[in-house]
Structure 1
């Protein structure tokens, strides 16, 4: 189960594992966070395990947010596992945030 660390209402940091075995809980946390803000950054750099199912869940959550005039920004600066999975499934993410959110 991933560890969720809210920095503020705009940043959700995921740590640990995000994979097919724990997607529903993670999706619920993301949807709950989106109830409080128009734009949510999800920091994925601290994930230790990440698979294609996790990537697709994040993509679907992002599309659902967009349909509701909200935004999810998937952020990964250094995690090579996360970058490799996103490259494999063809999902875009941000490695640089232009405005500080802390």
Structure 2
């Protein structure tokens, strides 16, 4: 099961597993988060398991957001499994080089 932690309204960290068995739950959380913001940053680095179905769901969610004048930014700096899956399924993505700065008050 993928664990997700909202660090604020714009930043979602996915941990654990994102695969065909739990896509609906994660997709629902992403869509709910987009109701609150124009841009959502999703950190994929902590994922332990990630498959092609997870990559396609993120792609479709990103396209749906774009159609609604919103944006999903996928952040993956170090997780080679995630990068390999995106490469394998032929989905191009942008890798952000540094995580967003979060201020804790």
Could you say which TM-score interval applies, normalised by the shorter chain?
over 0.9
Higher helix proportion: 1
User: What's the RMSD between the two structures over aligned residues?
Assistant: 1.5
Give the 3 Å change call, closer, same or farther, for CA 101–92 of structure 1 in structure 2: farther
- Partner-residue secondary structure (3-state), 2:13: strand
Greater shift after overlay, 84-93 or 36-45?
84-93
What residue ranges of structure 1 are gaps of 5+ in the alignment? none
Whether contact under 8 Å (1:75, 1:93) holds in the other structure is: no
TM-score, structure 2 normalization: 0.91
Residue 97 of structure 1 and its aligned partner are, at CA, apart by: 5.1
Match of 2:38 in 1: 38
Match of 1:91 in 2: 91
Take 2:59 and 2:101, find their aligned partners in 1: how far apart are those partners?
Answer: 21
TM-score, structure 1 normalization: 0.94
What residue ranges of structure 2 are gaps of 5+ in the alignment? none
